[in-house]
Amino acid sequence: MSGSISTEAANGRAAVIGIDIGGERVKSVIMVAGRIIDRSIRLRDAPITAMLPPLIEAAIRDHGVTAAGIGIAGLVDHPRGRFVWGPHLSDTGVDVSGLLRPLLDSSVVDNDANCAAYAEWVMGAAVGRRVALTISVGTGIGAGLVVDGEIWRGAGFAGEVGHMQIGGGDLECPCGRHGCWETMVSGRQLGIAAARLGLEPTAEALARSAAGGSPRAIAALRLAGGWLGVGVANLMLVLDPDVVVVAGGVSLAGDLILDAARDRIASGLPGRGHRPEVDLVNASDGRWAAAIGAAHLAAEHRSSGALHDRGDE
Ligand SMILES: [Zn+2]
């Protein structure tokens, strides 16, 4: 069987796995020739080093995957395949590429928001756009910028926008500072808002309650949407994207949050009326964008002939 798998790998039709390691959940997709054939979600209840190898081994056994893409919430040393640090994960300095080397021929590791942005550019809401900014609102907030089809990484760690201090409050952020953007709007913040309304403390519960017509849930989502708009307006002033895509768990709240963000941008962006209106849209597959993007990066990395990221040596 390994013969048929390696032939398939050579023509790009062998399966790849894309994995999104977030603050609370781990999502994975299996992709063959650009098509998702399986997806799964689980709670992140173990360190990366304990959780990742069995997940990959199962994907090799069940789907014959030959390459993996891993998106992780936090600072990722992409060239070396290392997870450096993240406020929502206790693991630091994990050599992810080294962990996978005994299992697979090819792997690539990137920031989760970069993966989500890439998915939206390849096959989602930002297809064909030249400067595509994707804001991923999950447990926290991250951003990915795709310019002319390339992920823009700055010197390495670009896009940690959730920790812009935005002047809205003094709530403590998991990063250790106060007043970060993600303390005003994020899955974590929406969970806190849901708990205040006596709901299960999740963004999903708040979105369901709002969809059911609860005025207090709708108000909480609009408040968060307004803060989303404040941060997006700031990023528009710096980056001037031609589309802004919102991905992550808050996509479940749909236009309730986005309309509030659009209102805030429309009323607050300097030069409004003299610049094009922002194209602020929901991701096409928001909750899964990071895993899908990681799978695309895995497939491209394999077909480029690259094996593992170069590691420490
Ligand atoms: Zn922070």
Q: DSSP letter string over the chain?
A: -HHHHHHHHHTT-S-EEEEEE-SSEEEEEEEETTEEEEEEEEE--S-HHHHHHHHHHHHHHHH---EEEEEESSEEETTTTEEEE-TT-S--SEEHHHHHTTT-SEEEEEEHHHHHHHHHHHHSTTTT-SEEEEEEESSSEEEEEEETTEE--TTTTTT-GGG-B-SS--PBPTTS-BSBGGGTSSHHHHHHHHHHTTS-SSHHHHHHHHHTT-HHHHHHHHHHHHHHHHHHHHHHHHH--SEEEEESGGGGGTHHHHHHHHHHHHHHSTTTTSSPPP-EEE-TTGGGHHHHHHHHHHHHHHHTT--S-----
Name the residues around ion ligand 1, CB cutoff 5 A.
Answer: 163, 173, 175, 177, 180
User: 128-283 domain in CATH 3.30.420.40?
Assistant: yes
- Which CATH code for domain 2-115+289-303? 3.30.420.40
Q: Where along the chain do its domains lie?
A: 2-115+289-303, 128-283
Q: What is the pLDDT along the chain (313 residues), one digit of tens a residue?
A: 344 444 455 446 799 999 999 988 999 999 999 999 999 999 999 999 999 999 999 999 999 999 999 999 999 999 999 999 998 898 999 999 999 999 998 999 999 999 999 999 999 999 999 999 999 998 899 999 999 999 999 999 999 999 999 876 788 999 999 999 999 999 999 999 999 999 999 988 999 999 999 999 999 999 999 999 999 999 999 999 999 999 987 777 888 899 999 999 999 888 888 888 889 999 998 889 999 999 999 999 998 876 665 543 3
Same fold for the domain at 2-115+289-303 and the one at 128-283? yes
CA 198–ligand 1 middle distance (angstroms)? 26
Q: Is 180 exposed, middle or buried (0-12, 13-18, 19+ CB in 10 A)?
A: buried
CA 141–ligand 1 middle distance (angstroms)? 9
CA 227–ligand 1 middle distance (angstroms)? 15
CA 155–ligand 1 middle distance (angstroms)? 20
CA 171–ligand 1 middle distance (angstroms)? 10
CA 162–ligand 1 middle distance (angstroms)? 6
CA 180–ligand 1 middle distance (angstroms)? 5
CA 231–ligand 1 middle distance (angstroms)? 14
CA 216–ligand 1 middle distance (angstroms)? 27
pTM across the whole model: 0.91
